[in-house]
Structures are given as structure tokens and as C-alpha cells.
Amino acid sequence: MRFGWLLLGLTSTFVSAQNLFDPHFQESIPHHPFPFGVASGDPGSDRVVLWTMVMPGKEGTTQVGWKIATDSSMHNVLQYGRTSTDEGRAGTVKVLVSQLPAGSTLYYQFTWKGLDSPIGRTKTTDIDPTELRLAVVSCSDYQTGHFNAYRHLCTQHDIDAIIHLGDYIYETSAERWGPAKQRRRMYRSHLPGHLCINLQDYRTRYAQYRTDPWLQEAHRLHPFITVWDDHEFSNNAHSEMSSAAQLERRDAARQAYFEWLPVRDHPEKQLYRKIEFGRLADLWMLDTRQEGRMQQAENAQDPRWQSSDRTMLGMQQSEWLTTGMGASESTWQILGNQVIFSPIHDSRVFSRVPAIKMDRWDGYPAARNRLVRSWREQAVENIIVLTGDVHTAWGLELQSSSHDDLSATPIGVELVTPSISSFNFNDILPRPIAWEAERRFKKKKHNPHLRYLDLVRHGYLQVTITKTDVLADWLFFNPRRSTAKVQQRRSYRYSRGIPGLERVRKKSP
Ligand SMILES: [Fe+2]
């Protein structure tokens, strides 16, 4: 018996790479030493994370070379080195390169078994930039449309970084998701064909997404700054999972995320972190799902909803955020946030829908009030909350006082990016009903802080930040056709010290 266990241990150490992924996906892996391309992420003024993946064979640990240069021909090499990977991390490779020049466009390449990877491009952050251009994306369901936002981003060479606010993958399966009418509108099938539960499932799902040519190319051309939302785990995930099966699934999902995304490694897989853009802006990437989100309340009658000890971020992350924002000397404070922060009054929009969406910050009023109070007490202003999750585009003025008083002077803006492809009102309801919902949401007596809303289009958000202004450009595409052509564009500007998020009329690109 003991000998049998020993044998099992040895064979699992040298398990074939074929066991990494679902057998149905194995055949579709590109025949290339770097089948999922290259990526970079979490830029700093002197550092960046480089990423790739190789398919380790039966040798166990394998060595991978890397180099980073100032030119796309890779002649002027700044640094190079070797690192190792194995099947324990699915052959994924991550290198945190430091001591790099600030504000620089740099190029990098990996070598494995004498073969070179594609050359990637990345950018370190500037010490004192006059302008910052961020692309903000979320909710990229492989099944429900083309990744046109990523395709368009491959043509945008002046972007400093792409912020992905979560639902980078969906753990769902078509068989168990949505009515038959919606399933018919799906374009591509997920692999594995079932709900993701174990490590092999989640690895296969990330690998499948990385076979999309535009996602892979966007990673090659731009540094990504990412956080997870719920669908990297399970629908409406929170931190109070307790059964052994739930914890095992959560751990598998976390491991796969850290393997496949170019985020800085952390011993406890903690994802919240700060990215500095010199004196212009601090970006606070929040984890509103896994770190300290209590289970959501059932409804407004549920006593948990108004409870004063209710947390969205958890105590440690809240302390880190409020202390850090109070001490920051940067002009802008940007939050990389998942669910809508501002209060939304939607009780008159659909009578059948509950008036309070418990999944958003509206479901955690005590936690939101504590955060807003800390901003007021520390005189924190010029806040830009970037949000994903709801698959629709929103522009909101951020309030400084009690969230029951929506007429106060704004201290910033909340900009919500639409889904890249995931279903929204347009995919689920007849369009006239969606437009009527927009009209009701925008009624001043309900939501006076809501300046812009689009419930039917898909795309992404570009944010251009200078010392004085924030320009938000929502770019929309038809997800039913593979195209980088912008279908429609809406632009709004917020200026420091001037109340209001104002429409800017531009020519469509
Ligand atoms: Fe989503």
C-alpha cells in the first residue's frame, strides 16, 4: 500500500503536459513553443511583470530565458536572465523585472529550447506625466460576442495601460446558463463544456480565452492591470464561503488567475494593490469580491443590509485604502473598482426588480459611508471611480456628503465601462424597453447625479487624465461582427473644481 502511494507521487511529479487541460481543448492548442503569446502587467516607474507560458514535457522543471530592450529589434538589451517553470504552475512564467528607466516604452522576448517568443511591448510609468491614457475594460464573455474592444486596442498605440476590472473569463457553461433563446445568440462554445470547478477546468478556460487572437495581441502590445470580479470564481462570489468544496474551488480559481494574469505574485494571493503614475495619479486596485465582502443581504428587509459592521473590502484593505488615500500627494485618486459605487435609485424602473441591488455598494451602505466619511475628514478630492460588472455604460458625479443627499458638490466622478461582449439589456429585452429603462433611470428626481447612461451597447472606456481634467470616451462596437470599427462614441469631461460631468461633442473616429 505504501509502495503504491510512492508510485502515485512519482508519476504525478512527471505527469504529462496533456493533463494540464481538458482533453477536448488539448487538440486546439496552437503548435508553437509559446502557444498563448506574451504579456506584461502591473507597471511601475522602474519595474514591470513579464509573462509567458510554455508546455513543459516530462522533464519536470524547465528553464526559460528572457530579455528586455529599448528597441523593437532587441539590439539594445537592458537586462536579461533565466527563470524556471514546471507543471505545478502550468508552465506559466512570470518575471518581475526592476531597475528599468521610468516612462519608457520597452520590448521583451522569451527563449525556450532555442526558440524565440513573439516580441512584446510594454511601458513603465512616468515620474511626473502631464497626461495619462488608460483603457478600461470588463466582462469579456468568450461565448457571447467578438472581442472587438481588444481588437480596437491593438490599434491604439498611445495607451499607457489597460485596466481590466474583472469577468476576464466566465466560469459558466452554456448548458447550465440562460434560457434557450439566449443560448442561441452565443457565438463560441466554452471549454471545458461544463461549469469550472477544479484547477484543470479554470486553466483550460484561461488558456481558451488566450487563443483569441485579439486578446493575445492586446496583451502583447500593452501592459495590463487586472482585478478579478465574481466570474473568475462563481456568480456573485463573496469571501464568506466555508464548505470544503467551496474553498477548494476558490483556491483552484485563485491559483489559475495568478498563473495566467500578469499580476505581481503575492504569497497569499492578495490582489489589492497600488499602481503609481507619478505625481499625476495613484491607482488603487480594489478587491471587492474575495478579500472581505460579506455575503450579500437577501433584500431591504434583511437586517444584515443596514448592519454597521458590514464590510465590502474587509478591515485590512479598508485601512490600507483610507490611510493611503489620505497620505497621497498625487493630484488624482483613481479606484479600480468592480461593482457600482454610487447609490442608484431604480425602484421606478422595473417594478418587478428589487429597488436595491444587493450585489453593488448599495448592498453595503455602512461600508460605503465609512469610506466617504474618511474622504471628507481627510479632504480627499479629485476621485475617479472606475467600475465594471454591470455590462452597461454609466457616467456619475461622485458625492462628498451623505449618500442620501445627492445634490451636494461632486468630489469626482464614477465612470462605468460597458461589457466587451457579455449580455446587457439589449441582448435580454426588446430595445424599446431598454430605452424606456434608460429614460427612467435618468429622471432627475431619482438620480440627479447620473449624467450619462447607455444600457444597450458594448465596448470599452478610454480615460485621458491631465492635471486639470478627466476626459471619458466610451467607444462602442457591434459584438456580432468581428470589427475594430467604432459604431458610436460618447465623450464627457470632468474638470477639477468645476461641478459637473459635461458632454463633449467630437467627430467619430
Ligand atoms: Fe460580467
87 Cα–ligand 1 center, Å: 30
142 Cα–ligand 1 center, Å: 11
Together in a domain, 254 and 143: yes
pLDDT at 351: 58
Together in a domain, 63 and 132: no
Together in a domain, 387 and 439: yes
The domain boundary, picked from 122, 137, 155, lies at 122
Give burial (CB, 10 Å; 0-12/13-18/19+) of 228: buried
167 Cα–ligand 1 center, Å: 5
Together in a domain, 209 and 250: yes
Together in a domain, 327 and 199: yes
* Integer CA distances (angstroms), 273 to 12, 82, 114, 317, in order: 35, 27, 36, 9
Together in a domain, 479 and 351: yes
Count up the domains in the chain and report the number: 2
pLDDT at 235: 81
> Is 144 within 8 Å of 423 (Cβ atoms)?
yes
39 lies in which domain range? 16-122
Helix (H, G, I), strand (E, B) or coil at 322: helix
112 Cα–ligand 1 center, Å: 36
46 Cα–ligand 1 center, Å: 33
422 Cα–ligand 1 center, Å: 6
166 Cα–ligand 1 center, Å: 7
pLDDT at 500: 85
> Is 422 within 8 Å of 140 (Cβ atoms)?
yes
Position 337 in a domain: yes
* Of 184, 158, 183, residue with least CA distance to 172: 183
271 Cα–ligand 1 center, Å: 19
291 Cα–ligand 1 center, Å: 19
Number of CB atoms found within 10 A of residue 37's CB: 22
CA dihedral (329, 334, 335, 341) positive or negative: positive
The domain boundary, picked from 74, 89, 122, lies at 122
* Cα distance between residue 470 and residue 132, in whole Å: 10
Rounded to 5 degrees, φ, ψ at 367 are -65, -40
420 Cα–ligand 1 center, Å: 9
165 Cα–ligand 1 center, Å: 10
64 Cα–ligand 1 center, Å: 35
Cell of 229: 470580479
Average pLDDT, the chain: 89
Helix (H, G, I), strand (E, B) or coil at 154: coil
Distance of CA 132 to the CA centre of its chain: 18
Enumerate the β-bridge partners of residue 276: 282
* Of 150, 317, 338, 337, residue with least CA distance to 231: 338
112: left (phi over 0), alpha (psi -120 to 50) or beta: beta
Together in a domain, 74 and 100: yes
Helix (H, G, I), strand (E, B) or coil at 501: strand
Together in a domain, 118 and 150: no
Rounded to 5 degrees, φ, ψ at 410 are -70, 150
Helix (H, G, I), strand (E, B) or coil at 139: coil
| Angle value at C-alpha 272, between 266 and 276, nearest 5 degrees | 100
406 Cα–ligand 1 center, Å: 27
387 Cα–ligand 1 center, Å: 11
Cell of 233: 470564481
* Integer CA distances (angstroms), 226 to 162, 165, 307, in order: 8, 6, 31
317 Cα–ligand 1 center, Å: 23
233 Cα–ligand 1 center, Å: 12
pLDDT at 2: 36
423 Cα–ligand 1 center, Å: 8
| Angle value at C-alpha 38, between 34 and 44, nearest 5 degrees | 155
28 Cα–ligand 1 center, Å: 26
409 Cα–ligand 1 center, Å: 31
177 Cα–ligand 1 center, Å: 13
pLDDT at 428: 80
376 Cα–ligand 1 center, Å: 31
182 Cα–ligand 1 center, Å: 15
* Of 299, 389, 286, 274, residue with least CA distance to 353: 299
* Cα distance between residue 216 and residue 295, in whole Å: 35
* Cα distance between residue 395 and residue 359, in whole Å: 19
Position 313 in a domain: yes
Position 154 in a domain: yes
424 Cα–ligand 1 center, Å: 9
Together in a domain, 231 and 326: yes
pLDDT along the chain (509 residues), means of 10: 34 50 89 95 98 86 97 98 95 98 98 97 97 98 94 97 98 70 73 94 97 97 97 83 88 97 96 98 96 88 90 96 98 97 79 71 94 93 96 92 61 96 86 88 89 96 97 95 92 89 78
Give burial (CB, 10 Å; 0-12/13-18/19+) of 303: exposed
pLDDT at 17: 58
* CATH, residue 300: 3.60.21.70
Element (H, E) at 224: strand 223-226
pLDDT tens profile 148-175: 999 999 999 999 999 999 999 999 987 6
Element (H, E) at 476: strand 469-477
* Cα distance between residue 471 and residue 465, in whole Å: 6
pLDDT at 174: 72
* Cα distance between residue 137 and residue 453, in whole Å: 16
Together in a domain, 50 and 170: no
* CATH, residue 53: 2.60.40.380
Position 7 in a domain: no
436 Cα–ligand 1 center, Å: 23
Together in a domain, 145 and 79: no
Together in a domain, 110 and 137: no
The domain boundary, picked from 90, 122, 154, lies at 122
pTM, full prediction: 0.93
